[in-house]
Amino acid sequence: MKITVLCVGKTKERFLQEGIAKYLKYLKHYADVEVREIKEEKIRDLREAPTVRKKEAERILKALPPGAFVAALDERGQSFTSHEFADFVNGLQESGVRQAVFVLGGAMGLEETVTERADKVVAMSRWTFTHEMARLALLEQLYRAFTIITGKTYHY
């Protein structure tokens, strides 16, 4: 299964870039995983948030590969334990999903058009993370899911 983590904006923090590279390296033993970044809008005033989300949503929707399973990460989505998330990922594989796209919004989050398009809406946590940190956390959880699925000793 090919997995794309579709993100709004670039990862600027070096420590996060290093962590992302580390988990991408670990994940290559389990799946074809890539991180794809799309342009983020500049935010000058919080009152512009709806406009920012709309413009970013247009880019996200345009970037989605036809036929891909889309999971949008949003605080209003379904929460999973690590084992439940592993079951979810395994279920995608077993049902023959060839490509899964996990969508992470920008600093202002995702517009409803993206969550409505998604096949599944997933909440990472009730906490709020920076959109850059969310990328690393998602990749770590994907790696953890694959180690649970394959019975490797990473998750205790």
CATH number for the domain spanning 38: value is 3.40.1280.10
Could you give the number of structural domains in the chain? 1
Under 8 Å CB-to-CB from 96, ≥6 apart: which residues?
A: none
- Whether residue 95 lies inside any domain: the answer is yes
43: in domain: yes
Structural domain span for residue 97: 2-150
Q: What confidence score (pLDDT) does residue 128 get?
A: 87
* CB-based contacts of 86, cutoff 8 Å, min separation 6: 144, 145, 146, 148, 149
Q: Could you tell me the mean pLDDT of each successive run of 10 residues in the chain, 156 residues long?
A: 97 97 97 97 90 97 97 96 97 97 95 98 92 96 97 81
Domain-embedded: residue 155: no
pLDDT at 155: 66
Tell me if the pTM is above 0.85. Answer: yes
Q: Residue 72's pLDDT is what?
A: 98
